[in-house]
Structure 1
């Protein structure tokens, strides 16, 4: 969440061992940084005499690949110098940036000559020892994502699921129950989890003879690529039981691949390297990896097997590894324009321009221009533009009437949304907040400041005002109005109305007198919540989320579930808030929504983070983090703790494996939770944190479990919230236990009694302690 901005040529110098290979990883998060327009960032990155990136735009690349962040990894041969210098050089009138740099000593993993496929045998080889390479793909074939912490050799590599690269179907995944014996193979080659999973064709030999297994990868043209295959046989024990052919771009790399012939026994891994050149002919910017059973040798089983796959780009004769910025696909261009048209009719003209240029050289320039203009208007036009980033969503503000209290239906908001909400004039808003008096500020978020206000004489409200210099804007504003205008539930925060006038965008909500759930857990406040009271708040939040997933007209995925977005009213009723990032769920024919990653780090579903595929189970994962946050009274991320404890979710999973979950519990709760309730609660919480969404419960299951846990506790109400030692005031606070109707359809009522001001959330930068943000500045 930090970056170094370069407006001139800048270098980092690292002292190294001149005889070793090194891995360099560069991390880029193309967000809008203060005073810099990210779409104008183009720069060059070199290390010693090697060009790593040229005319590189992290913004364009992330948009084209539909990714929130980028990691560029390079494997560099030993230098003749005792230092490595990484230099960032912005292009003219541009700037560069980087979020993270890793430099890791790499053991000698490329000690073989890789034969060049498609040329006469022996006439072309690639020397891995002397080659500088960029990792393009690293796959755990047939298995799950392997995070850097589970990699071998301390290299901190990520191994991804191969499913997105599969061409066709009809394959079988395997998980082996076998001990992996590396023999002479360095353990750093790949972790054991790679060799314990694999993909094959299946049991029908007749089908296998007529089919193959293929993966397709898009790469840069005019480069040679080293393709590394990882094999480990764990079913068969004899030579010629499974023999298959390996093809790269329809050229034979190896015709008689027999894993047992290579290793001598099962459970012993090996790897094979081949090289292929990718030219610049149109349509050639791909690598096809194909395995086909060898029929001529008549093996006992007609089948193939592959455990892992890596693809590395080899530097060219000019020591260059830089490729061009990717061009968005035609489908993505249409989607970007469609998104733009929802908020700006002028984009319709642009669609015809792009459509007329598709297929020609002009497509690239126009596509980039479209991307830049879309991003420019969404996120602002930079520090020197002097132009507001907001777009009108409601019509012409100077034609509005401020006397009716209702708006006329506009063109960008739906009729239902506008007519179900009260329209406030800017005069009314300023009157309610005493002209946005700073003394009324009760929170600050990524969207802007939140003010305490009074309307209609005595009704207290929370007024969320846009900040024109914020990276958040019209999309979140519209989403919040569209969502909340159609939702009415006891456990969802109610939107009263909105104001969009001039350069102001304002949302008006019920005032939540008790603030956020987070501040009552570990912010040093006067109130200590008992276990039953925490359960009741969790049950309320679960009801709100369950309603979003199943009870509303359309499935709604919240996408930003966290303790600052669970608010408490004066009667301690928990309500889910902040719908600026929410998405309607997939239709009946799909199981996910493809979208760029947004959310808050610490709560973000790892499966969604990896694949940009959003599901209801993404909310379930986030709520699982909330469950542990409530149990342990500590933040989802705390960088002041030891490395293994920084992430609450990871620490909880590690503690569960070690059997030490009890040690994580908030000291105020020690001895107050019945053992069977603790086990049921933590079992449910851990299931929510499963790496794959299919293994997680539904919100309905979570809600049922929480209500069951509550019933396991004694029937008496238990101790009242206590005043923490060392604090003044306080006393007892009534905290009624709410009923357990799973899909309560009650309307929210206005909260009229609270003069309590709430403190800022110090350990979560810029997060609102008294009210939720539309978008938090952290983790977006």
Structure 2
């Protein structure tokens, strides 16, 4: 008997093990229940089989002897609404479930005519930890059927649904649906908007935790915007989508549009990438939508909701209306008339590919929730649209989850012994497999590894000394031969199983956790989440870029993990967070002007190294204040290389590519021509310099229209000679006027409309070094000095000797010797001209950079 139990347990464990490792191979409706309550007849409806109560698959139930079955032909054509199970006392259904998964729970109610008068029923429905329906009155179910739908995280092997009649009343139900949902359908965290905080940072914060044992969701509205009803038989998860017209507050600004072509999906529809897969919403939802009539018309919806509670909102978008050749339409999303996000394509999506945004929104006291899509007047072709909208109420736990009877009951001795033997067998098998795999890996020579293909600017393929690994999805992923891979188990230990209290930020790729590795090293662990805006391509790019570069002013990649469909990057921990966090919207101490200059210089050094210190050159393509991090000593390091592009590049070459980046930092020349050069990074860095000077965001929609775009407003103030008026008040008194003049001229040069008119990053670096020198040791106006007569941009025309060098102790690339020598000469000449002394023999920071 024990051996028999062992075999059964081993088979069960192996089955569970395989299901954990290969969820991306396809979503399967495991432990699915569709029940035709109060009937012994099986019913096919919406492509689902609802089983009758006499079916052997009917779940265990605990009915009182007074419970009864009601059967009566109804005016509703569906057979599901012609029978009902009636409960005169507390009764329950009990289901077998797979622990720690999210399930859909649906109840169908219709009060057909019968002697029991179903319309008079009043009752509660509860599940472990939640009261789903309280004092439910069935009177509103006499004319049409009512469906109540919930998303619940189930953490036990058994799940009980309890019906509790009110005093002198009864409970009933016509049909029940319970089935497991795809992984990542509801994200673990998302932006949170509160109308009470709408004046602070747009009212956005991070909503942590997703669904868990203390939180569930109840569906309130699901709209197929611009289209008709989508029935449950069409939707992959048997959801119903209704038209939205009755909730639009300004129909005169909107027009319904439709699309007859195919909606492109990724190769793996069950992946957790940035696009919408087949389970997020069906194609038919993305083929219709409401579009603004002209470039200045916004469209608003006002939807009834519960007052002063959190609601989960999912906005569905698909740019099927655009005439663009590339790049999705960029427009604004507002909640309660407050800006929350730019809806655009800063992911790897193409035209007509569906995508979505998730928010948790706290409703106000009006009982209405207002959302708006508004065209961006700065976009090349202003437009706004919406394809679908889902709204669910967040249901908080009403009590503790009762203990699992399976776990608390007595277990017989044979079962215990069988379990122990089975466990030992399983452990033995795993150990043998581990040793076998380790032996194979040791025997395989490094020379036999394949080369990793890297796209070149000319459209060809170059190869780097990396190897191919295989993800669980079957797509190639670099398995870098630098000991950089780390196990998922080690990262779970380092982050306390990705505990929400360890979250220190959220980027375009996903949540960032603070972790401590086994060797005691503090690290930042960036874990991908669905709908985050970046996916496998950015994951691969980041690994490829950071594995072959090392610099004191670039954030170091410590390790990466690609187990169980996870995409996790591990970086050195940066104690002081992002540059933006230290400039505004923060309680951190104010940075001094000298500190800000040193931070800008460090970031410029890192970018210059990317452009010129790496063979072929690397363009970052997403330079912004949130991608410049500060360590415990406020040393700046450039981060986030998911959008980077590699060369070969020089100052006259470019990469032809679809436009990607962040609105407000995007190079207008790159946007027009779709030709990416290193000067695109220079423009973005110019915007960062303005942020540092003014301590405000690159885009601030609360400002007057002419001040919304910081780059345009800063250049305007510089031209009018009023730049000092927008300088951060906290540092105004600290800034030396000559230092400010050099700094502002540098900003102006970086923000030239055309890339060919902008300086190189080394020119910017020199100007910033000079601004810092003037701040440290104030001098007379240097406009007539020897420095002014030397035009640094000529340095870029000097011949390159391509001499190998080391930066931060690591051999990394090529630096121009002539350029280095000229920079050192200029540094010394400027000191001599301004101080009237002999040349200083102490090395400058610029000399240290190149030596």
What is the TM-score when the length of structure 1 is the normalising length? 0.45
Structure with the bigger RCO (C-alpha within 8 Å, sep 6+) is 1
**TM-score if structure 2 supplies the norm length?**
0.42
Rg comparison, structure with higher value: 2
